[in-house]
Amino acid sequence: MVRLAAIEAARGSFDAATAAIGRRRGPVIGKRQIEQAVVDAAADIDSFYAQRIALPSTSSTVLVMSVDGKGIVMRPDALRPATRKAAAARGGGRFRTRLASGEKPTRKRMATLACVYDTEPAGRRPHDVIAPPGGRHGDRTLRPGPTARNKWLSGSVVDDPAAVISRAFDQAGSRDPGRRRPWVVLVDGAVHQLELIQAEAARRDTPISVVIDIVHVLEYLWTAAWCFHDAGDPAAEDWVAVHALAILAGDCGRASEAITAQADRAGLKGDQRRGADACVRYLTGKAEFLRYDQALAQGWPIATGVIEGACRHLIADRLDISGARWGLAGAEAVLKLRAVHNNNDFDAYWRYHVTREHERLYQTADQAEYTLTA
């Protein structure tokens, strides 16, 4: 019954889980019992992965890590202290029925998700990633990018990002204990996230190559493009392609200089060049993580699609359903169970969990603790 509850509650709402179990077994368990059963069912997930032995890979196989965060709507008592304080300070807000412009609802708690996977190198050229102005020519065969395999997902809304990142490094270390493989870390450029990843790598004395998601770079380029083109102008697409190809070829500095020079020549001032200046600051500030020429030549992935998809699947598709507000224990349990399901480890985990539960309930003689009374 508990196993069925863990499957159904991870798949859909607790109401839907209650109805599904009722159809199969009759009215044998209530919604509150299912909620508690799910929390109990997730109790051994961390220890399950800590004792697993990873599949071996060749030294040429790229080991990829990626980390991201996504908010979950929580009950007030489950918010982090800073968020709860901000919510209390905001009070009822300016309007009764909606948020004012720029006003934050202060009702979410950030969950941190991590992904580790293997991929075989797949070398590419800049025009394999971005179509040049005027489109691609048919005489050039498009080279496909690397494909993720052996994906491992983990997440937590209870633990801070540093703890989740540490677990990701544990998983990566179990796959490559001799540090023979290239370690690539894909990020979206968040400063705090970068600092935590670099600190963890330094603590473990593990060399890593950090690559910022190319999609985030493209968003900055598109923002800059509208400083030089009218809204909807098709020429903006070619403008973005030219600078994106330069960045992919390793000429990040040249792209920054060209954007600044164009803004100067156009005589843009203040808000007129805000997007262009933001793009240049991003490119110059993150230049050490934008070596796409090296990444493409060595066949590494350069986009965070795997972890972005995990955020949508693990959190948005279940924990962000309409009307859901979570307590801390329930959100953590459902998030971890969905990760186990996504890793295709649920059957193996359940056997492990049942064994651990049996050990807790029925201790053997060597597990018991005795106290001398005489």
pLDDT at 254 over 90: yes
Residue 185 main-chain phi, psi, to 5 deg: -115, 115
- What pLDDT was estimated at residue 91? 64
Percent of the chain's residues with pLDDT above 70: 93
Q: How far is CA 130 from the centre of its chain?
A: 24
pTM above 0.75, yes or no: yes
Contact in structure between 183 and 131 (CB atoms under 8 Å): no
Query: Around Cβ 248, how many Cβ atoms within 10 Å?
Result: 25
Structure tokens at 278: 């933001």
Render pLDDT for 268-287 as a digit per residue (tens, 0 to 9).
999 999 999 999 999 999 99
Q: For 76-104, what is the mean pLDDT?
A: 71
pLDDT at 138 over 80: no
Mean pLDDT rounded to a whole number for the chain: 91
Reported confidence tier of residue 104, pLDDT bands at 50, 70, 90: low
Alpha-carbon span 291 to 296, nearest angstrom:
9
Render pLDDT for 309-364 as a digit per residue (tens, 0 to 9).
999 999 999 999 988 899 999 999 999 999 999 999 999 999 999 999 999 888 77
The DSSP bridge pattern shows strands 183-187 and 209-212 to be: parallel
What count of Cα atoms within 13 Å lies in the side-chain half-sphere of residue 2?
A: 13
Query: Around Cβ 369, how many Cβ atoms within 10 Å?
Result: 5
Residue 163 main-chain phi, psi, to 5 deg: -70, -40
- What pLDDT was estimated at residue 101? 62
- What pLDDT was estimated at residue 127? 92
Q: Is 89 exposed, middle or buried (0-12, 13-18, 19+ CB in 10 A)?
A: exposed
What count of Cα atoms within 13 Å lies in the side-chain half-sphere of residue 129?
A: 31
Residue 326 main-chain phi, psi, to 5 deg: -110, 150
